[in-house]
Structure 1
Amino acid sequence: MVKNIFLALVCGLTLPLIGCVTTNSTQIVTPKKYIVDRETYQATGKSERIKSIVLHYTVSDNARSINTLTNGQVSAHYLILDHDDNKIYNLVPESQRAWHAGNGGFAGRTILNDTSIGIEIVNSGIKHEYRDALKNGELDYHPYEHYVEFDELQIKKVGQLVQDLAKRYDISPKNIIGHADMAPSRKIDPGAKFPWQQLYFDYGIGAWYDEFDKQFSMHQDTFAAATIADIKQAFRDYGYQINDSDEWDKASRNVVYAFQLHFRPQQPTGVMDLETYAILQALNKKYADRDDFY
């Protein structure tokens, strides 16, 4: 009894100084709370975490796309359905990592899930009657006519969404890419009928070459004198991952095909030719001043 009275008197006298309480004769010191100051000092050596936007098609219908992207082991930040519901669905917060890109790389980065926004668009990809053509050895690559068209409403939604994202995160035009661009040996989406050129001219998003530079390069025919090493380095300069073999092996042709799907979609062959090289040169000339390797 006397001991408890004594402790109470001690705490009463010292509480303003150290903040103590008694619990079963045990003294607890309350630590001082410190303020996190986010305004007084700011570093200049920083940049946005989001560096790229990767566009995909789902190869399924609305219901299955929703189920896969909300309940499966794959996800994306945004989903665009193929009917007019006036909505763009945000499935993963932009501050969090979505599982959409997988193995591959672009512009010097190899783990794009960490630094990208993924957008899935409901689209069947390849028309049903052509889906087994590669498996059966009938052709090496799907031509333009094998792909499924996108709805115009979907493209409007993509345009609005990517415009906003690119502005907010200051994303380089070169880093607005398709899944095929970063994983050419695994993926072909969003395919030959995804309208990159329309999005560039109508919405000012993504990269596209200047026709004059392309035609000038074709007229000069620098392709005739270019070595395989020269051409592959030009792909690397733009951002594509490509091996350094001295031949156009399947992995290298996959990169050519992915590039053509993006920039020459009506003739995606996987074969390196004069026009493809001229487009690549025109792109490198136009975007040479963009430092995207950071």
Structure 2
Amino acid sequence: MTPLRLAPRAAALALTLALAACASSTMVDRGAYVADTRYHAQSADSRIRFLVMHYTEIDEAESIKVLTTEAVSAHYLVPADPPLQNGKPVVWQLVPESQRAWHAGVSEWQGTTELNAASIGIENVNAGPRDTPQGRVWAPWPPAQVDAIIRLAKDIVTRYGIPPTRVVAHSDIAPQRKTDPGPLFPWKQLYDAGVGAWPDDATVKADLAGRAPDSPVDVRGLQMKLARYGYDVATDGVLDERTRRVIAAFQMHFRPRDYSGTPDAETDAIAEALLDKYMPAQPGEPDITR
């Protein structure tokens, strides 16, 4: 055979072997059957679309015990004083991110129910509230713990592309049952680090439009804004206890100095500013914030 005839045959043989090797590398033997993984559907996305923050209300040892032995779990547990390894804070990962953890319970956010199936849950060791004769006192968040929370949360939202309005409190997604992570949780610090949502002060001031911060507002209008932002709230204009709890959850997140659940102008302006920033009305769509 001449070299001219050998070259095409050699090339064909090499191509055949390459295709065979490629095909064999996509074959996954799962015992009872073999799965061929060479084709990939385009219509797919991540299970993880939300990040939910909690506090434990118990110490670290008890938190680990409860989260690993009882019918409740979270993907991560952040200690109050994280140890360092190579200068980096260490957190506990209790559940693989690919699996569901039981941290959210009955919940809803932006129309999605059963948040356990679509979120990562971060439990943070924090004592939560303590009632005293002078009123309710909330446990502080140590700087080292806040640093660890920010590092962990920033990594998660970056890897999964979680939008700012889907970084939420347990109290946001279950306002009738929960108050964690409480009014002292450092949401603004997280926002400054690139995690979660926060209103722009100038926009809040503009949306107040000269109103006194504590002046009353239309209840239905505020309900509609909170519902559009993500809360499970009625839009019937009735200021009942359920609506008050939703307003209180919103205030605890974005106006923690006063989370009484009273529908005032400042709360209304903050809701407007958040919608202006993250969910502006589309052309032809009525703007309920005005």
Where on the TM-score scale, by shorter chain, does this alignment land: which range?
Answer: 0.7 to 0.9
Structure ranking higher on relative contact order (CA contacts 8 Å, 6+ apart): 1
The letter for the 2-side match of 1:164 is D
Give the Cα–Cα distance (whole angstroms) in 2 for the partners of residues 108 and 115 of structure 1.
12
Report the counterpart of residue 190 of structure 1 in structure 2.
181
TM-score normalised by the chain length of structure 2: 0.79
Identity within the alignment, %: 39
Matched position secondary structure for 1:117: strand
Report the counterpart of residue 28 of structure 2 in structure 1.
none
Report the counterpart of residue 54 of structure 1 in structure 2.
52
The letter for the 1-side match of 2:188 is Q
Q: In 1, are the aligned partners of 2:217 and 2:268 still within 8 Å (CA)?
A: no
Give the Cα–Cα distance (whole angstroms) in 2 for the partners of residues 242 and 45 of structure 1.
32
Return 173-182 or 240-249, whichever deviates more.
240-249
Shift of 1:104: 1.7
Report the counterpart of residue 112 of structure 2 in structure 1.
109
Q: In 1, are the aligned partners of 2:217 and 2:263 still within 8 Å (CA)?
A: no
Give the Cα–Cα distance (whole angstroms) in 2 for the partners of residues 290 and 103 of structure 1.
30
Report the counterpart of residue 82 of structure 1 in structure 2.
80
Matched position secondary structure for 1:79: strand
Report the counterpart of residue 286 of structure 2 in structure 1.
none
Give the Cα–Cα distance (whole angstroms) in 1 for the partners of residues 116 and 69 of structure 2.
18
Give the Cα–Cα distance (whole angstroms) in 1 for the partners of residues 42 and 279 of structure 2.
24
For structure 1, the 5+ residue unaligned runs are 1-32, 134-141
Matched position secondary structure for 1:127: strand
Q: Does 1:209 align with 2:199?
A: yes
Shift of 1:34: 5.6
Q: In 2, are the aligned partners of 1:172 and 1:290 still within 8 Å (CA)?
A: no
Residue pairs, 1:146-165, within 5 angstroms? 146-165=137-156
The letter for the 2-side match of 1:59 is E
The Cα offsets for residues 100-156 of structure 1, whole Å up to 9 and x where unpaired, read as: 00012111111000000000000110125379x7xxxxxxxx5xxx21101111111
- The structure-2 alpha-carbon separation of the partners of 1:123 and 1:226, relative to structure 1 and needing over 3 Å to count, comes to closer
Q: Please, what is the CA RMSD of the aligned residues? A: 2.4
Residue pairs, 1:1-294, within 5 angstroms? 36-38=36-38, 41-86=39-84, 87-127=90-130, 129=132, 146-201=137-192, 203-219=193-209, 221=211, 227-288=218-279
The Cα offsets for residues 175-199 of structure 1, whole Å up to 9 and x where unpaired, read as: 0001000011100000010010111
For structure 2, the 5+ residue unaligned runs are 1-32, 85-89, 283-290
Shift of 1:43: 3.0
The letter for the 2-side match of 1:70 is T
Shift of 1:268: 1.3
Give the Cα–Cα distance (whole angstroms) in 2 for the partners of residues 177 and 50 of structure 1.
13
TM-score normalised by the chain length of structure 1: 0.78
Shift of 1:35: 5.4
- The structure-2 alpha-carbon separation of the partners of 1:155 and 1:230, relative to structure 1 and needing over 3 Å to count, comes to same
Aligned residues between the structures: 245
Return 219-228 or 102-111, whichever deviates more.
219-228
Q: In 2, are the aligned partners of 1:79 and 1:89 still within 8 Å (CA)?
A: yes
- The structure-2 alpha-carbon separation of the partners of 1:289 and 1:277, relative to structure 1 and needing over 3 Å to count, comes to closer
The Cα offsets for residues 258-284 of structure 1, whole Å up to 9 and x where unpaired, read as: 001100011111101010000000000
- The structure-2 alpha-carbon separation of the partners of 1:62 and 1:35, relative to structure 1 and needing over 3 Å to count, comes to closer
